[in-house]
Chain A
Amino acid sequence: MLKKLWLMVGVFFGTIFSFAMVAMAAEEGAAATLPPQVKMWIAIAAGFGMAIATVGGAISQGRGIASALEGIARNPSASGQMVTPMIIGLALIESLVIYTLVIELLLVFKL
């Protein structure tokens, strides 16, 4: 049992290291500077895009929390069963705003 454990640990770390070494050998980066016009438009688009995405996210989350709070107010003893789906729903709505954030990061730091 213990020998199998050490074997699995060894295989796990061996694959990690070998893949990482191979990936590191093939890494290269090309960075070219952009004309300032393009940078200006990237800045404007990033600023406005994130703000617009946050509006939709905030409205939806507000409605979700409002109905969850109303449910808790009607039946306070069952509040545990209402809080968990509320948190999960909030995280799923927020993930849409996070997708916009990822595009932001891509625009600002890589382009």
Chain B
Amino acid sequence: MEHGGIFYYQFIPGLNKLPMQVGNAALVSIILLILFFLGYRSLKKKGDDIIPDEKFTLLNFMELIVEMSIKLIEDNMGEVGKSLLYILGSLIVFILFNNLSGLVPGFAPATSNLNTTLALALTVFFMYQFYGFKVHGAKYLKHFMGPFLWLAPLMFPIELIGHFARPMSLSLRLFGNMMGDHLVVGIFFLLAPLLVPLPIMFLGIFVSVVQTLVFVLLSMAYFSGAIEHEHEEEHGTPALEEATEAA
């Protein structure tokens, strides 16, 4: 089923020759950049960052997003997560806004295309392998060996297949949920366009938020699995913080 029709990204001169999902992802990225830049500027103008504003301003909205992201990351990864805030926060905001933009007519959501979700999943995959190697060195390969050394020839291919299945499952889950939701809404619009698609669109909001949560939680689980230490450290992992400072 092709997305026919008029989309917002076609009106911007630089973007209308790109493929559909790239143009839309760029448009949502531009909107996000403008939002965060305005929030940054109003934060600098305020000066005092302890007392929040009274009404529902843009700064409160941005602070809400950032605080909820930090709480989510810290609840699941502990102190180590703070150094990974950039990539995980970007994933949260990008995926959330792209999913939600599918409910607004005129946007072709970028995450309902396998290219975008595969790019995001591969980014997470390569990043956690990289951090695993950087924190552990060559001993990172011992993670694949299993509990006992004589089990290694059996465990190594199984672990490898499991690791390669992770980006595939991440990307297919997000793509399938978004594409399925849009297909169902489209079919409802064909059948009974007056008020009947409304419950499906409420379900669409719920599914968008939950899929963002699941993507980021799984990414955090993969990161912790790659950078965990065998012994408990009281003060966090300085190796990871050095790695993220240098990277």
Contacts of B177 in A (CB 8 A): 94-95, 98
B18 touches A98 (CB 8 A): no
For chain A, the count of residues having a C-beta within 8 Å of the partner chain is: 21
By beta carbon, the residue of chain A nearest B114 is A102
CB-based contact B18/A24 at 8 Å: yes
- Whether A31 is near chain B, meaning CB under 8 Å from some CB there, is no
Q: How far is the CA of A16 from the CA of B94 in the complex (A)?
A: 15
Inter-chain contact B176/A95, CB cutoff 8 Å: yes
- B14 CB contacts on chain A under 8 angstroms: 17
Contact, CB under 8 Å: A101 / B210: no
Among the listed A13, A21, A91, which residue makes an inter-chain contact with B211, where contact means beta carbons less than 8 Å apart?
Answer: A91
- Given A13-B26, A16-B26, the answer on whether A99 and B172 have CB atoms closer than 8 Å is yes
Contacts of B33 in A (CB 8 A): 9
Question: Given A17, A20, A92, A101, which contacts B180 in the complex, CB threshold below 8 Å?
Answer: A101
Check A98/B214 contact, CB under 8 A, given A20-B18, A20-B22: no
Closest residue of chain B to A9, judged by CB? B33
A88-B214, A88-B217 known; A16+B22 contact, CB < 8 A: yes
* Central interface residue in B18, B175, B211, by most chain A CB within 10 Å: B18
Q: How long is the Cα–Cα vector from A95 to B26 in the complex, in angstroms?
A: 27
Q: Number of contacting residues on B, CB 8 A? A: 23
Q: Contacts A9-B33, A88-B217 known; A20 to B19 CB distance under 8 Å?
A: yes
A48 within 8 A of partner (CB): no
Contacts of A107 in B (CB 8 A): none
| Given A17-B14, A20-B22, A88:B213 Cβ within 8 A | yes
- Is B179 close to A, CB under 8 A? yes
Q: Determine how close the nearest CB of chain A comes to the CB of B45; give it in whole angstroms.
A: 15
Q: Which of B148-188 contact A (CB under 8 A)?
A: 169, 172-173, 175-177, 179-180
Q: What are 6 of the A-B contact pairs (CB < 8 Å)?
A: A16-B25, A17-B18, A20-B19, A98-B177, A99-B172, A102-B172
Known: A101-B179, A102-B172. 4 other contacts (CB 8 A): A88-B213, A91-B210, A95-B176, A102-B176
The 8 A-B residue pairs with the shortest CB-CB distance in the complex, in nearest-first order? A98-B176, A95-B173, A20-B22, A91-B214, A20-B18, A102-B176, A91-B210, A101-B176
